[in-house]
Amino acid sequence: MTTRTLNIAMIGHGFMGRAHSNAFHQVGHFFDTPYTLKRKVICGRNQEAVRDMAARWGWDETANDWRAVVDRKDVDVVDIGTPNALHADIAIAAAKAGKIVWCEKPLAMNGAEAGEMVQAARQVPNLVWFNYRRVPAVALAKQVIDEGKIGQVYQYRAAYLQSWGVDPARKGVWRFNKSDAGSGAMGDLLTHIVDLALMLNGPLNEVSALVHTFAEGREVDDTAIFTGKFANGAIGTFEATRFAIGMKNRNRFEIHGAKGALAFNLEELNHLLYYDATLPAERQGWCDLMVTGPHHPFSDNYWPPGHIIGYEHTFTNTLADFLKTLANGSEFHANFEDGLRVQHVMDAVEKSSQTRSWVQL
Ligand SMILES: NC(=O)c1ccc[n+]([C@@H]2O[C@H](COP(=O)([O-])OP(=O)(O)OC[C@H]3O[C@@H](n4cnc5c(N)ncnc54)[C@H](O)[C@@H]3O)[C@@H](O)[C@H]2O)c1
């Protein structure tokens, strides 16, 4: 296969810098793609840390000022893994320079900012790293729903539960600063489960929310909970929290339809639970599908059935699908418009909590 080289500039080299670097390495090993990804330049503020990261993950060059790299002629893609407040400036500058833009979630600090990013990126291929869409079990859930197997959806229940916010020693991280993060559990966790809900069950029409901060003096929310009405008539309940002691990273949903139900939990990400309510009553029960093939999303790209995969593969899968759409000219999701839709829900959740009322979308 002839391949074209894409030179990547990655801004930010923390948790997501590692997850993305790994995907850049792995995608060509596991997927046939007409692109060779070159880890051209990695950018961060701490010179020594950036150099360490470049050596460990095989980046050619290091840089300290993102403005100096986004419009370099030898850069094709700008990948953004910085704190949320920087996403818009970097993405807009990169899009104006004609680069492909990959941006971490939440896309922006609010809907207005996300709208500007959508406008700026109209002419360039773009991606938001809503990586949980590409957990094979989640992709299978989408297939099952789209085939009508669970019928009309009545209840959509989602929660993203973490516990680290309780720890007073975690002061000082950018995630607690409003000016860096914009919000707390909302931008960090709620955006993920809202993106999955919009993908799996369609648009939300209105929300009623409670957003709360437990830690004294903290600028951002620790928990955000809302009830929503979907356009398809389903009722949704959503809970995102950094105060769920005992829960490390429990991103889960349960979807109940007229003909069946689905349940997923990221901490058991190779599994999807399926309940077929069309079976004779005496044979109905939860069926535990191990989503590692055969015939499961992404399963042909990895190991034989039963040989499980992990968190990092969700980024590789996302990238593989993006490169496929880049090659064949089709539309990739989640893109900036998907990120904007999520941001509109976040704005409505915030407004609903502030005004103690239902807010239309
Ligand atoms: N998709 C996911 O599952 C997922 C998971 C975690 C974080 N995220 C998102 O990824 C983004 C980064 O989060 P993280 O956990 O990697 O944070 P992190 O703190 O681990 O890393 C942030 C990086 O940004 C760099 N940075 C900060 N200011 C900069 C500047 N002015 N110029 C260049 N670099 C700068 C820091 O040096 C650091 O390398 C956030 O938007 C977060 O919401 C997404």
The pick from 15, 117, 193 for probing ligand 1's pocket by mutation, whose C-beta has the most ligand atoms within 8 angstroms, reads 15
Q: Whose CA is nearest to atom 3 of ligand 1?
A: 131
| Alpha carbons 328 and 277: distance in angstroms, whole number | 39
CA atoms 173, 174, 179, 185: torsion sign: negative
Ligand 1 centre distance from Cα of residue 139 (Å): 26
The pick from 13, 52, 57, 104 for probing ligand 1's pocket by mutation, whose C-beta has the most ligand atoms within 8 angstroms, reads 104
pLDDT: is 260 or 167 the higher one? Answer: 260
What pLDDT digit, counting tens, does each position of 111-147 carry?
999 999 999 999 999 999 999 999 999 999 999 999 9
Ligand 1 centre distance from Cα of residue 331 (Å): 26
Atom of ligand 1 nearest to the CA of 84: 41
Ligand 1 centre distance from Cα of residue 205 (Å): 31
What HEC string does the chain produce?
A: CCCEEEEEEEECCCHHHHHHHHHHHHHHHHCCCCEEEEEEEEECCCHHHHHHHHHHHCCCEEECCHHHHHCCCCCCEEEECCCHHHHHHHHHHHHHCCCEEEECCCCCCCHHHHHHHHHHCCCCCEEECCHHHHCHHHHHHHHHHHCCCCCCEEEEEEEEECCHHHCHHHCCCHHHCHHHHCCCHHHHHHHHHHHHHHHHHCCEEEEEEEEECCCCCCCCCCEEEEEEEECCCCEEEEEEECCCCCCCCEEEEEEEECCEEEEEEHHHCCEEEEEECCCCHHHCCEEEEECCCCCCCCHHHCCCCCCCCCHHHHHHHHHHHHHHHHHHCCCCCCCHHHHHHHHHHHHHHHHHHHHCCCEEC
Superfamily of domain 132-332+339-360: Dihydrodipicolinate Reductase; domain 2 (3.30.360.10)
Ligand 1 centre distance from Cα of residue 68 (Å): 19
The vertex-189 CA angle with 187 and 193, nearest 5°, equals 110
| Alpha carbons 3 and 34: distance in angstroms, whole number | 4
pLDDT of residue 1: 65
**Per-chain mean pLDDT for the chain:** 97
In this predicted structure, the answer to whether residue 285 has a pLDDT above a threshold of 80 is yes
Percent of the chain predicted with pLDDT > 90: 97
132-332+339-360 shares the fold of 4-131: no
Q: Quickly state the pLDDT bin for 168 (edges 50, 70, 90).
A: confident
**Pairing between β-strand 250-257 and β-strand 235-241 as defined by DSSP bridges:** unpaired
| Alpha carbons 125 and 106: distance in angstroms, whole number | 18
Q: Domain limits of the chain?
A: 4-131, 132-332+339-360
Mean pLDDT of 342-355: 98
Which pTM was predicted?
0.98
Please name which of 255, 76, 243, 109 lies closest in space to residue 183, comparing C-alpha atoms: 109
Ligand 1 centre distance from Cα of residue 17 (Å): 7
What pLDDT digit, counting tens, does each position of 221-243 carry?
999 999 999 999 999 999 999 99
Ligand 1 centre distance from Cα of residue 292 (Å): 30
Superfamily of domain 4-131: NAD(P)-binding Rossmann-like Domain (3.40.50.720)
| Alpha carbons 25 and 12: distance in angstroms, whole number | 17
Task: Give residue ranges with CB within 6 A of ligand 1.
Answer: 11-17, 43-45, 66, 81-84, 86, 104-105, 129, 131, 174, 188
Cα 255 from chain centroid? 19
